[in-house]
Structure 1
């Protein structure tokens, strides 16, 4: 089958791979219809390299069920599904189920891994998953939107940690795909003031189109002063760090109001040095800080997935407008190289591959 395989940093190859076969009685083979690039894919491509050399990559996808194991009972041939990409203790050959899986806190599993890391991923024509990882797509939800349920679930998982309330003011730092999804879900959770912060004008334009009520270019103005002005000195109820920058990961503590909180979605991949001014905000403002990891909860894969699917089905959530590039797998190595060395004038939203293209 056609696939994208990661061999090393900036070494992504379009080549043939073995089509996955049924191995366990609850396995499902899915024909991949749409699969998106995640920000973590870009970091692994440019900075970290693969977990396993030559692994078929990718984890944000949707597709059609084409084979099922003999013990599969909840999905059938022809079903349209989104794939929850996480494997926990139940799926892995571990001698003992970890403490967190015993508590059904699957995002905290000691052995948590995702497809494309140590198991074949979705940048391919076909993928194998356990039946429980398959979330059925309603007839009125298209494959492109369904492929974006996973990153949406990451954002919702983060918001579920917080105490966000209708009428809140939310500041979102970083307007890449995770930041734009954070804007969308801040609206859904009822925030009335949504302030987006970034250093790129095109990203801020997309944030405004997505639903941000105010945008701040922190390369051109002092974000702290601008937020202070916009909120009448109160600052934000909730701050979302979605940039994954060592700089903004320290600054966000100053953007929250007293008694507010900060939720971290971004991963800096570097040391975060917090100046006294910012650190003291945690103490003096009595902030709550939430770390949010992954996209699953209990019952697996969690209410995040069911919530997003329901929002899509009822047309309360629109995701396709975030897609700026629709490509074949063959174009994968080129687009990863381009995005990793993008110019300031380049505009990349969600990039979606179509293995059949």
Structure 2
């Protein structure tokens, strides 16, 4: 079978004769139809590596159950599914509390064991989520990042009737814009440095946008809210200047959820600390996409909202590529030769992974 293997940092190898995975007793064999590239995958390829090397990356994916292990229900064969990549230990304190994103000893498909940048992948049967027949495989491959966005949104207060800032108009931010509008936010403002992305944010429902290549965040954000500030901010960029700025544009009793990670340290400046204290701003982090009743409400809500098109994932997908083009794609990203949004690989050809 075909597979894309990360040997070491900046060394990806496309294999045409990789071995089909052997199934464990409680596992299923998934024929991967569409697999998304996460922002974390770029980090693994270009600088960080993975917990295990060599490895096949890919944790945002959909496909068809091709075979089942001896301890797995036979009726799962032939199901169209998405896969929850986290494999919780289910015994640590946090799993017992239902906080699976905080598991102390988790496994993870695509970073701690082989993932979906291959034609077949073996996964625990407990990781399967059946998708509606009306949902395409390409749409289903965006369920995982949508669930991550929802988990972050749920870490903040209710946004019904509130002013919301989405900082960053990448795929996660654009999914957040759509969720905020669908959830009754009174006003959604999206900020980024690329006008083309901001145009898409407006098309997807943002009431206002701020181009940070033309305006400073704090005065522009306060102006957009008539000086009041935002009740809730979803920060996806990881940029330290933006991470400080969204504190200073928070309303009194406002909340900021940090989702973006850049590897750069964050030092709170005097203005940010003053705002946290005097306006009693709440800062919260978000990690992964799981909650009580594994995998939690995030996953079913993501499936439902994509299936009924309250969230249009086709708007955030910029490329659907055959797996054999993956090495050249990553090289173009590394050398800044390509603009992209959410990218999907189609191990069985792009015809089967259309939106």
**Where on the TM-score scale, by shorter chain, does this alignment land: which range?**
over 0.9
Deviation digits for residues 164-201 of structure 1 (CA, Å, limit 9, x no counterpart) = 23121111111111111111111122113111111112
Query: Are the equivalent residues in 1 in contact too, given 2:31–2:120 (CA < 8 A)?
Result: yes
Query: Are the equivalent residues in 2 in contact too, given 1:171–1:255 (CA < 8 A)?
Result: no
SS at match of 2:240: coil
Deviation digits for residues 281-338 of structure 1 (CA, Å, limit 9, x no counterpart) = 1111101111110011121111111111122333332211211111011111111121
1:226-241 correspondence to structure 2 within 5 Å: 226-241=220-235
Q: Aligned residue for 2:352?
A: none
SS at match of 2:76: coil
1:82-97 correspondence to structure 2 within 5 Å: 82-90=82-90, 97=91
Tell me, in whole angstroms, the C-alpha distance in 1 between the residues paired with 2:316 and 2:159. Answer: 25
The answer to whether residue 100 in structure 2 is matched with residue 79 in structure 1 is no
Q: Aligned residue for 2:41?
A: 41
Match of 2:238 among 241, 244, 249: 244
1:283-302 correspondence to structure 2 within 5 Å: 283-302=277-296
SS at match of 1:138: coil
Query: Are the equivalent residues in 2 in contact too, given 1:132–1:300 (CA < 8 A)?
Result: no
How far did 1:143 drift? 0.5
Q: Go from structure 1 to structure 2 and tell me whether the alpha carbon gap of 1:213 and 1:89 turns closer, same or farther (over 3 Å shift).
A: same
Q: Aligned residue for 1:332?
A: 326
The answer to whether residue 1 in structure 2 is matched with residue 7 in structure 1 is no
Unmatched tracts of structure 1, length 5 or more: 91-96
Q: Aligned residue for 1:18?
A: 19
How far did 1:240 drift? 0.9
Q: Go from structure 1 to structure 2 and tell me whether the alpha carbon gap of 1:229 and 1:247 turns closer, same or farther (over 3 Å shift).
A: closer
Tell me, in whole angstroms, the C-alpha distance in 1 between the residues paired with 2:37 and 2:285. Answer: 23
Query: Are the equivalent residues in 2 in contact too, given 1:74–1:131 (CA < 8 A)?
Result: no
Tell me, in whole angstroms, the C-alpha distance in 2 between the residues paired with 1:105 and 1:336. Answer: 34
Q: Which 10-residue stretch deviates more, 37-46 or 146-155?
A: 37-46
Q: Aligned residue for 1:66?
A: 66
Q: Go from structure 1 to structure 2 and tell me whether the alpha carbon gap of 1:308 and 1:120 turns closer, same or farther (over 3 Å shift).
A: same
Aligned length: 348
Tell me, in whole angstroms, the C-alpha distance in 1 between the residues paired with 2:99 and 2:109. Answer: 19
1:113-124 correspondence to structure 2 within 5 Å: 113-124=107-118
Unmatched tracts of structure 2, length 5 or more: 350-355
Q: Aligned residue for 1:347?
A: 339
Q: Alpha carbon RMSD of aligned pairs, Å?
A: 1.5
Query: Are the equivalent residues in 2 in contact too, given 1:265–1:291 (CA < 8 A)?
Result: yes
Q: Aligned residue for 2:353?
A: none
1:239-278 correspondence to structure 2 within 5 Å: 239-278=233-272
Q: Go from structure 1 to structure 2 and tell me whether the alpha carbon gap of 1:17 and 1:284 turns closer, same or farther (over 3 Å shift).
A: farther
Deviation digits for residues 13-68 of structure 1 (CA, Å, limit 9, x no counterpart) = 211432112112x2111100000111111122222122222201111000000011
Deviation digits for residues 113-145 of structure 1 (CA, Å, limit 9, x no counterpart) = 321112110001011111121000111111111
Query: Are the equivalent residues in 2 in contact too, given 1:253–1:262 (CA < 8 A)?
Result: yes
Query: Are the equivalent residues in 1 in contact too, given 2:159–2:232 (CA < 8 A)?
Result: no
Q: Aligned residue for 2:56?
A: 56
For normalisation by structure 2, the TM-score amounts to 0.94
How far did 1:75 drift? 5.3
Q: Aligned residue for 1:193?
A: 187
Tell me, in whole angstroms, the C-alpha distance in 2 between the residues paired with 1:144 and 1:237. Answer: 34
Query: Are the equivalent residues in 2 in contact too, given 1:21–1:128 (CA < 8 A)?
Result: yes
For normalisation by structure 1, the TM-score amounts to 0.94
Tell me, in whole angstroms, the C-alpha distance in 2 between the residues paired with 1:236 and 1:149. Answer: 28
Q: Aligned residue for 1:94?
A: none
How far did 1:74 drift? 8.3
